[in-house]
Amino acid sequence: EVQLPESGGGLVQPGGSLRLSCAASGFTFSSHAMTWVRQAPGKGLEWVSSISGSGGSTQYADSVKGRFTISRDNSKNALYLQMNSLRAEDTAIYYCAKGYSSTWGTLEYWGQGTLVTVSS
């Protein structure tokens, strides 16, 4: 069974940093691209960032480019999102998602999400 529990969310002040983690299990982690998607309270889904199975290629939404860094540790089956210079508009539930088969952009399984609140 695929499991993608996220952790690391919480309350942070504007300008602060957080590191989100996603502990993958139930599949061959290194064979799949992984993605972070966020959802602001009461709003729709927004793609944040994706990383290839090897970790050698990454993509970012313009809204987070230069502030967020996606990474993975295939030896630990772990996905990360380092979030710096956080803003109020980054407040959201952050989901990690597994790419379907060899594709990047079809999000086959999702974690339950971790809430990030940016507020003073």
Partner 1 sequence: EIVLTQSPATLSLSPGERATLSCRASQSVSSFLAWYQQKPGQAPRLVIYDASNRATGIPARFSASGSGTDFTLTISSLEPEDFAVYYCQHRSIWPLTFGGGTKVEIK
Contacts with partner 1 by CB under 8 A lie at 35, 37, 44-47, 50, 59, 61-62, 95, 100, 103-113
Residue 23 or 45: the one with the smaller Cβ distance to partner 1 is 45
Q: How far is the CB of 82 from partner 1 (least distance, A)?
A: 19
Residue 41 or 120: the one with the smaller Cβ distance to partner 1 is 41
Kindly state the tokens that stand for 118: 């940016």
**Number of Cβ atoms within 10 Å of the Cβ of 59:** 16
Residue 15 or 65: the one with the smaller Cβ distance to partner 1 is 65
Residue listed under structure tokens 């602001």: 40
Find out whether 86 and 15 touch, Cβ atoms under 8 Å. yes
Residue 55 or 100: the one with the smaller Cβ distance to partner 1 is 100
Find out whether 81 and 19 touch, Cβ atoms under 8 Å. yes
Chain mean position to CA 48: 7
Q: Return the bridge partners of 45, or none.
A: 39
Q: How far is the CB of 24 from partner 1 (least distance, A)?
A: 14
Q: How far is the CB of 68 from partner 1 (least distance, A)?
A: 13
Q: How far is the CB of 107 from partner 1 (least distance, A)?
A: 6
What size, in residues, is the chain? Answer: 120
